[in-house]
Structure 1
Amino acid sequence: MDATALGIILPLLPFYSQRLGATPFMIGALMSVYAACQLVAGPAVGMLSDRYGRRNVLLLSQLGTFTGLVLLASAGSLTLVFAARIIDGLTSGNISVAHAYAAERSPPSARKQALGMTSGAIGTGLLIGPALSGFLVPYGQAAPIWAAATLSLLSILSTALLLPPDQHSSDAVSTQRIPARRPARTLLGMRYAWRLLGLLLVYFVANAMFLSQIGLFLSARFTWAGHPFGARELGCVFAYAGFINILIQGLLISRISLFVSDRSIVIIAFGCMGAGFLALAFAAEISLLAVCLTLIIAGSMFARSTLTAELSRSAALNRQGMVMGFNQSLMSVANILAPLLSGALIGRGLHTVWAIVIAAIATFGAIMAARLLSGRHTHRTRTHDMTLAPQ
């Protein structure tokens, strides 16, 4: 519900702001200020959840999102639009806290599947949201935003009524508690976690460059029934991505992990992304486009789910919020910088170069994974995860 609400807002926000007098630069600043607030708030919200409980902080985060959406729906000036996005950004720890909650509530053997289901739900919501936004726009510019606010309110009620309260058993405290006064020193000492965060940053940059300009790329390169790709065709692409997402998260990832190591999965996933982007740079037929998108989307799903699960296993349970918060901050950094580079390339008509650059980034991710995700490190992380000892 939270992700669907976000998906409703993203395609609408530029046009909604433009109606209030925003220039293209202001629209870009509006996107950046939200990501910048996420960057600042992500680790703080995660560490607060370590200290005060996942459910309590998740409720607070969702309340901030609801407040921001109500303010945005009733905004009569750009100042209020900026204020709404700042409030939402500063409290947007929903994803990191949800990942930490899922990790904490899952046994080690099922943790990857739990995190994959969480990521899958978020991805599905981000696909459903834009479709709802397009359906509701004829009823008024603010109608989709009020729908998003309604979904946000429902998510608050669901968290309050359906999620069990956090448990603080004496056994858990004795086996997995890290001194609360030293979160910075703890994180600095988690060398394997930093390697995983570096890999996730590479993934986030490639993914942000792809998502921010794929619509314009397809419109410039491909036609359907005699006209360039438009919103309808792009919607079909997103629907196809959602189908692959559900297939991988629901059926494949837990089964493949029984036969293939996480290191191999990440290397192959980045390799598939690189191959898909490289082929996309020179693709001219719809059939080849389908193959490229399959490689890119499947590789992206496997890379993110596997790396997120491995990151969770790299930290003790009472530090899940902290590491997931830093993970979300890295995603925010990528969402601030990568679209600028992507837009500069597409804006100059360098469509082939755009795809080749992303292919190079994904290839770099595969090389990093081969060097950093050794079997020794993976075994050590899993041993720590099984014993619940801090790294």
Structure 2
Amino acid sequence: MARPKPAIIFIFITLFLDIFGIGVIVPVLPKLVEQLQGGNVAAAAHAVGWLGALYALMQFIFSPVLGSLSDRFGRRPVILLSLLGSGLDYLVLYWAPTMGWLYGARIISGITAANFSAASAYIADVTPPEKRAAGFGMIGAAFGLGFIAGPAIGGLLGDYGLRVPFLVSAGITLLNWLYGAFVLPESLAPENRRPFHWESAHPVKALAALRRWPVVFGLAGTHFLSNLAGNIYPCLWVLYTGVRYGWQSKQVGLSLALVGVTSAVVQAGLAGKVIKLIGERRGVYVGMLAMALAMFCYGTATQGWMVYGIIFIGAVAGIGGAATQSMISQAVPADEQGAVQGALNSITSVAGIIAPILWTAMFSWAIAPERSLHLPGLPFYGACLVALIAAGMAWRVFRRTA
């Protein structure tokens, strides 16, 4: 039997480092790409988009694969192997002399970061049913803390060199791997393991479950579009603020940390109170319209200081996400929750594949030297439109199910 306390602490640290590792390179990776592209911002924008898409694609493909492998061989080897791969990948990013090495490293990062499924299964193994909600609640806490700490630390370390954050992330991740090798027991008993089948590891099949419930299928569209709009932050924030306001790594990191803090405050406390007061349907509208307003303001803001006020408006969008997922979970029986949540994770990954390509391509087009009218805020206007369409899709679903 696994020892829950040290094991749960280790899993929390692992999930935190997954998001921390993503966040810490957000302020510096686009600048490194720009450097490797000879200072060409438009070319760097295209490259950053494809790097982000590759990362999300690998997560989409390998999350169910690693989850099924953990059912066959146990959680411990899958989690530890993923951690080792992540640590070595950061070292490759630190050393990478060409763009080809960066693409290869992002593929490895996406595969190893897909250990979320095995880590979630570990929590279910070692936590009794009546405490499982609290156990899974720490996943959201780990994500929030990782997104707050990662960009802030990455931005500060970036002042000492664009590659320094990769080296620090490698050291922390490898230390966690070494710690886990000594303290992490196996949580899955041999009698509970099952053979590995490729059918159960197929990412597309998870999406088929949504068609069984029209309400869920419709709101899944809203969920997808809100993630598509929201993913503009990690893939474009550095390049956009650099071109528009001349921001450096420290300013980028601190602004993204503020995004994380305000989002965590809204999702941890404010969202539940607002939804209880106005209802879930209105909560969806409030969130989507707040996102649309924030995106429009980001695209229009002429001074960097304005961004900090807009961040608070954008944080309100978290109310819409919480309301959407709450309504989806209530529309399906208890024994179908896992399949539906897995499908939503797949949808999130698909949005993560499309968003970097879409928004960076739009940005690159808008700032191209041959363009007579330079409009760097164009992608944010596009995200505004996507958020409005998400609200309209939710309205259509609610109208049909009134």
Query: How far apart are 1:5 and its partner, in Å?
Result: 1.9
Q: Which residue of 2 aligns with 1:80?
A: 101
- Mapped contact 1:270–1:366 kept (Cα < 8 A): yes
Query: How far apart are 1:164 and its partner, in Å?
Result: 7.5
Residues 1:316 and 1:87: Cα distance change in structure 2 (over 3 Å) = same
TM-score (norm 1): 0.72
Instruction: Please list, as runs of the form range in 1=range in 2, the aligned pairs for 1:30-179 lying within 5 A after superposition.
Output: 31-50=49-68, 52-53=70-71, 55-56=75-76, 57-95=78-116, 118-137=139-158, 139-156=160-177, 161=183, 165-166=187-188
Correspondence 1:190 to 2:210 = yes
Q: Which residue of 2 aligns with 1:11?
A: 27
Q: Which residue of 2 aligns with 1:302?
A: 319
Correspondence 1:275 to 2:293 = yes
- Mapped contact 1:43–1:326 kept (Cα < 8 A): no
Residues 1:91 and 1:322: Cα distance change in structure 2 (over 3 Å) = farther
Q: Which runs of 5+ in 1 are unaligned?
A: 174-178, 223-227, 378-391
One-letter amino acid matched to 1:262: E
CA distance, structure 2, for counterparts of residue 139 and residue 279 of structure 1: 32
Query: How far apart are 1:149 and its partner, in Å?
Result: 1.0
The number of equivalent residue pairs is: 363
- Mapped contact 2:27–2:253 kept (Cα < 8 A): no
Residues 1:358 and 1:42: Cα distance change in structure 2 (over 3 Å) = closer
Q: Which runs of 5+ in 2 are unaligned?
A: 1-16
Q: Which residue of 1 aligns with 2:366?
A: 345
Residues 1:207 and 1:116: Cα distance change in structure 2 (over 3 Å) = farther
CA distance, structure 2, for counterparts of residue 108 and residue 363 of structure 1: 39
Residues 1:343 and 1:155: Cα distance change in structure 2 (over 3 Å) = farther
Instruction: Please list, as runs of the form range in 1=range in 2, the aligned pairs for 1:229-244 lying within 5 A after superposition.
Output: 233-244=251-262
Taking only aligned residues, the RMSD between alpha carbons, in angstroms, comes to 4.4
- Deviations, residues 25-65 of structure 1 (Å, cap 9, x unaligned): 36733651452253144244225415634945444433332
CA distance, structure 2, for counterparts of residue 136 and residue 259 of structure 1: 43
- Mapped contact 1:38–1:90 kept (Cα < 8 A): no
Correspondence 1:363 to 2:388 = yes
TM-score (norm 2): 0.70
Instruction: Please list, as runs of the form range in 1=range in 2, the aligned pairs for 1:243-254 lying within 5 A after superposition.
Output: 243-254=261-272
Between 78-87 and 319-328, report the one with greater CA deviation: 319-328
CA distance, structure 2, for counterparts of residue 147 and residue 49 of structure 1: 28
CA distance, structure 2, for counterparts of residue 356 and residue 26 of structure 1: 21
Query: How far apart are 1:202 and its partner, in Å?
Result: 0.9
Query: How far apart are 1:70 and its partner, in Å?
Result: 2.2
Query: How far apart are 1:294 and its partner, in Å?
Result: 1.5
Between 344-353 and 354-363, report the one with greater CA deviation: 344-353
- Deviations, residues 323-346 of structure 1 (Å, cap 9, x unaligned): 524432332222232222244335
One-letter amino acid matched to 1:344: W
Correspondence 1:207 to 2:230 = yes
- Mapped contact 1:244–1:297 kept (Cα < 8 A): yes
CA distance, structure 2, for counterparts of residue 190 and residue 167 of structure 1: 32
Query: How far apart are 1:146 and its partner, in Å?
Result: 1.4
Between 228-237 and 149-158, report the one with greater CA deviation: 228-237
